[in-house]
Amino acid sequence: MNDKQRSFPLPLSSVVDKAKKSPVFAPVATPQTATQNAAQSAARLASVPASARPGATPSKSHAYALDRAQPVAAAAPRQNPLVSDAVRRAMVQRVARQGVKDALVLGALETVPRHLFMEEALASQAYIDASLPIGHHQTISQPYIVARMIEVMRNGGELRRVLEIGTGCGYQAAVLSCLAQEVYSIERIKSLHELAKANLRPLRVPNLRLHYGDGMLGLPQAAPFDGIILAAAGLEVPQALLDQLAIGGRLVAPVGARAQHLELVTRLGKAEWRRDTLEDCHFVPLRPGTV
Ligand code: SAH
């Protein structure tokens, strides 16, 4: 592990507090920016009915919203129809038709503005069910597989502490933060770790910690985890991760090289794990070390 492993201690109050002090909506007309998109989407999210939000229990609801009021005039007219709430809802309906049944997971997918996690040039493709490039030969995962893996990991139960290996742009971490009390996510590529921080900054995600490091080593200081998700495929699941699973906890990982499948590992006892092989999948490779 890189001994300079950096953590990203959220809450994002430092960032949000700074944002509060600066005049974000200057009276001068400026071109649409990612930040404005973020602000507008977050403001729209605040109006998602509570029943449609994941973790409808108030203590666990993490609907994204900026903690500053949005001028109505700035929010309405410029919305790109390809990244609208309706388009995101349609994506969720497709994911449900593909077989994801967990209503909380579907609700989380509906809550998180996926287009804010990709380059503006690709944002209009954000709600098609595909993985898309995020730079450094990595991808943002396909919405279906994000939902499916979380559904399998959750298994209808309560998630207190969850670990994700492979933050990438931060999308799945944001979805997880709607469903678990505490989420930890590790990324080995420094600039993607920074990208995820930047993507998550406009959203308030107080229960998510981003770490820069080698996820194959897990995060022993925060273990044990009720659930672990790998967003990159290794030839096998690293033992360190199996050891950091709580007894009764569930790990979901893509396993394989060219031909990959999803593997569910359930920890049954101190030295006993059960493996179940699920559907085929395609992920970027799990790699050791940091860059
Ligand atoms: N979770 C992302 C998917 C990112 S793609 C999403 O929400 O769409 C998978 C990521 O895993 C890549 O960013 C890659 O750099 C990262 N990765 C691969 N091996 C890793 C390791 N050992 N530790 C941490 N991250 C790793």
pLDDT at 33: 31
pLDDT at 83: 87
Q: Residue 81 — pLDDT band, cuts 50, 70, 90?
A: confident
Tens of pLDDT, residue by residue over 214-240, are: 999 999 999 999 999 999 999 999 999
**Residue with CA closest to ligand 1 atom 4:** 168
The preferred substitution site among 188, 197, 241 for testing ligand 1, maximizing ligand atoms within 8 Å of CB, is 188
Residues lining ligand 1, Cβ inside 6 A: 138-141, 165-169, 171-172, 186-189, 192, 214-216, 231-232, 284, 286-288
Mean pLDDT of 20-28: 25
Work out the burial of residue 273: count CB atoms within 10 Å of its CB; fewer than 13 is exposed, 13-18 middle, 19 or more buried. middle
For residue 31, give both structure tokens. Answer: 């071109």
**Residue with CA closest to ligand 1 atom 6:** 140
pLDDT at 162: 98
Mean pLDDT of 277-282: 98
Tens of pLDDT, residue by residue over 166-198, are: 999 999 999 999 999 999 999 999 999 999 999
Q: Residue 108 — pLDDT band, cuts 50, 70, 90?
A: very high
If one compares 23 and 159, the residue with the highest pLDDT of the two is 159
- Measured CA to CA, the distance from residue 110 to residue 85 in angstroms comes to 8
Q: Residue 64 — pLDDT band, cuts 50, 70, 90?
A: low
Q: How far is CA 205 from the centre of its chain?
A: 11
Catalytic residue list contains 131: no
CA-189 nearest atom, ligand 1 = 15
Give the position of tokens 């678990």: 180
**Residue with CA closest to ligand 1 atom 10:** 166
Residue 42 has pLDDT above 70, yes or no: no
pLDDT at 59: 33
- Measured CA to CA, the distance from residue 30 to residue 47 in angstroms comes to 25
Residue 140 has pLDDT above 60, yes or no: yes
